[in-house]
Amino acid sequence: MSTNNPRITVIGTGYLGATHAVCMALLGFDVLGVDVDSSKIDLLQSGRVPFFEPGLPEKLAEALDSGRLRFSTDLDEAAAFGDVHFICVGTPQARDSAAADLRYVDAAFAGLAERITRKALLVGKSTVPIGTAARLTSLVQTISPLGPELELAWNPEFLREGFAVADTLHPDRLVFGVSSEWAREQLARVFQPIVDEGTPVIVADLATAELVKVAANSFLATKISYINAMAEVCEATGADVSLLATALSLDDRIGGRFLKPGLGFGGGCLPKDIRAFRHRAEELGIGQAVSFLGEVDSINIRRRVRTVDLVRELAGGDLSGVRVAALGAAFKPNSDDVRDAPALDVARMLYLEGASVSVYDPQANANAHRVFPDLNYADSLSESVRDADVVVLLTEWQEFRDADPDELGALVRYRRIVDGRHALDADDYRLKGWEYRALGRPAQSGTVALRLDRRDEVAAT
């Protein structure tokens, strides 16, 4: 690669930023990763990833070894170093409303704008309400000694946790939200190796680029809630949502991805993004256009309540004093992220009804303990299920899929299981004497192998 490559900074080194910084270094750029959290920076600089993400530790080691990646807490250093600055800080849900909390984004853009003294491009990657990039453009150009020379672009990121490296290096598409040809050229240079693979590029205005991200996440959330709404219909009619999902997935126009019924979506993106989108639409006076996202949210939350109902049913109608083994705490497998995790929410509701809950997650116990210290946490699957009255599968880790129903059965007090993720072999469990229940399926439903797409499978690392 040419020596006059743009130098890159990545501000914010969470799931998105740390992965982006590592991948940009692997693509041949000199990269400086910056975060206000010095413990995170120390870990990354010493080659350790502060969260669980398959494949990332190896890639971090490779990037550090290349000499092209380093980390710092110093924004002055970032301003002096970078030609293209990627802002990857979080936009969590505000404490007191459904809106996105933009304080970290505003601080990062303003902090850089005050310090940058030569022409540079600030690129937002965080998920933000439509109109934020336009507002930030005026903000940074007012603050900056460079005025309009300091340009801003938006480049939304679609990476999924558990697939972060692959999604960053080989995305389905790139979106460049720009206001000038110069800004487009900078992004084209930075993403050249990815574009050269034939990745489609959409060049758009700032508002469209912001909207692509929230529209994509809203669509995915809607697809999941759609099949989960059908699960509710199945529960009332005796139909089987697994067979239904399989039949729908075979229609190419519908497809099977994100059509997996169960406990529903959680995490740091989908739930807060649909809420922030609704909130922004209200502000814009077009609330009706996306009011259906309120239903999407409600359907999703009702799955959690229904899961608790099934556990209570299996326990004989009352949860007080019942020993429940809760398998999983992360919002999905191959992640240690418990933000808005359906699993943890169900465990909490069971606990509040008086159950004695033993949670086990292969990676997320520590994060879960921080959020809900009152639950019991087990160090292994067998410890969690020992003497359980009911087992409930909440996150479909491979370890739980692979568990032997007989071996588990030897440990529990009663062989009763609720499969909150349609991940287990119903026939096998019944054969081994378990009472098996799953959301949206009749009490005696048999095994249905939901069609999985290899693009949704994490490769063994």
Give the residue numbers annotated as catalytic, written as ranges.
269
C-beta closer to ligand UDX: residue 82 or 177:
177
Which amino acid belongs to residue 198? G
C-beta closer to ligand UDX: residue 306 or 415:
306
* Burial grade of 172 (CB within 10 A; 0-12, 13-18, 19 or more): exposed
**How many CA atoms are closer than 13 Å to the CA of 238, on its beta-carbon side?**
1
Annotated binding site: 35, 40, 91, 127, 158-161, 213, 258-262, 266, 272, 332, 339
C-beta closer to ligand UDX: residue 132 or 217:
217
**Interatomic CA distance for residues 332 and 313, integer angstroms:** 25
**Interatomic CA distance for residues 58 and 48, integer angstroms:** 9
In the complex, least distance from residue 127 CB atom to ligand UDX, rounded to whole angstroms: 8
Annotated binding site for NAD(+): 35, 40, 91, 127, 161, 272, 339
Please give the order of strands across the beta sheet that includes 390-393.
376-377, 356-360, 323-327, 390-393, 416-419, 435-438
**Interatomic CA distance for residues 358 and 372, integer angstroms:** 12
* Binding positions for ligand UDX, rule: CB under 6 A: 157-161, 217, 220, 224, 258-260, 262, 264-267, 269-270, 331-332
The two tokens of residue 370 are 């921080």
In the complex, least distance from residue 102 CB atom to ligand UDX, rounded to whole angstroms: 18
In the complex, least distance from residue 51 CB atom to ligand UDX, rounded to whole angstroms: 12
CB–CB of 295/312 below 8 Å? no
The two tokens of residue 115 are 């310090």
C-beta closer to ligand UDX: residue 159 or 281:
159
Q: DSSP letters along 200-237, please?
A: -EEEE-HHHHHHHHHHHHHHHHHHHHHHHHHHHHHHHH
The H or E element containing residue 300 is helix 292-314
C-beta closer to ligand UDX: residue 161 or 389:
161
Contacts for 246-254: CB closer than 8 Å, 24+ residues apart: 246/448, 246/450, 246/451, 249/450, 249/451, 250/451
CB–CB of 79/117 below 8 Å? yes
3-state secondary structure 7-36: CEEEECCCHHHHHHHHHHHHCCCCEEEECC
In the complex, least distance from residue 324 CB atom to ligand UDX, rounded to whole angstroms: 20
In the complex, least distance from residue 146 CB atom to ligand UDX, rounded to whole angstroms: 31
The two tokens of residue 153 are 């672009």
C-beta closer to ligand UDX: residue 360 or 414:
360
**Interatomic CA distance for residues 38 and 246, integer angstroms:** 48
